[in-house]
Amino acid sequence: MDKDVTKRLLRDSGIGVADFVTMRKNYNDDLSYEEASEKLGPELFIKPANLGSSVGVSFVKNKEDYDIAVKEAFLYDPKVIVEEKLVGRELECAVMGNDYPLASIIGEVIPKSEWYSFESKYVDADGAKCQIPADVDDDTMKRLQDIAVTSYRLLECTGLTRVDMFLLEDDRIVVNEVNNLPGFTAISMYPQLWEASGVGYTELISKLIGYAIESHKETSALKNQ
């Protein structure tokens, strides 16, 4: 779940990510709003590096809110990401498997507020609309699936992961985050994406258990010192 390490691994492998700067609590690398906005633009996301569900995340447009947001993020993690705002569609792909991962069809999250906050996800029942499948052409669907699987492999994921991406106005695809423990209720995006791909909830659970057993067998067969 380390967003800093994830972004660096993906970026260095040629996968698009939002431009960002990392700050560490015990290092002398604090970044002022003026410095951050000069590098990343005036609208910024502040994120704890190792949390999901938008906990501790803030979206800011000025110095006052930026300073508050940085202090808030450091309450949750000693490492904080300052990230540029991207303008594009938020698309998600469910991936499962070990050595040969499979990608679901693509879904789209359409927030009703300015960004997909914790409140939009969990508090406001009408905070966002989920459209499955996303309204994209076949070529774009395939590109998104390929990038999701490539990211999965680059990060050496196993079992299950949801890859969240942005489709930008210039048609570029950028990986936003890789959620290695996505929500798994009946109304969560991960099982919904597989349901729409032809894999029902019960079958999906059985497949994931099978991948876990497969992974355990492989690890158990290794020679121990």
For residue 36, the domain's CATH number is 3.30.1490.20
- Check pLDDT > 50 for residue 124: no
Residue 100: DSSP 8-state? S
pLDDT of residue 125: 52
Q: What pLDDT digit, counting tens, does each position of 61-119 carry?
A: 999 999 999 999 999 999 999 999 999 999 999 999 999 999 999 999 987 766 554 55
- Check pLDDT > 80 for residue 141: yes
Residue with the bigger pLDDT between 126 and 32: it is 32
Domain boundary (84, 107, 135) is at 84
pLDDT of residue 128: 65
Inter-residue contact 178 to 161 (CB < 8 Å)? yes
Inter-residue contact 151 to 175 (CB < 8 Å)? yes
> Which of these ranges, 16-20, 148-152, 217-221, has the smallest mean pLDDT?
217-221
d(CA 183, CA 185): 6
Domain boundary (30, 49, 84) is at 84
What is the model's pTM?
0.87
SS3 state of residue 107: strand
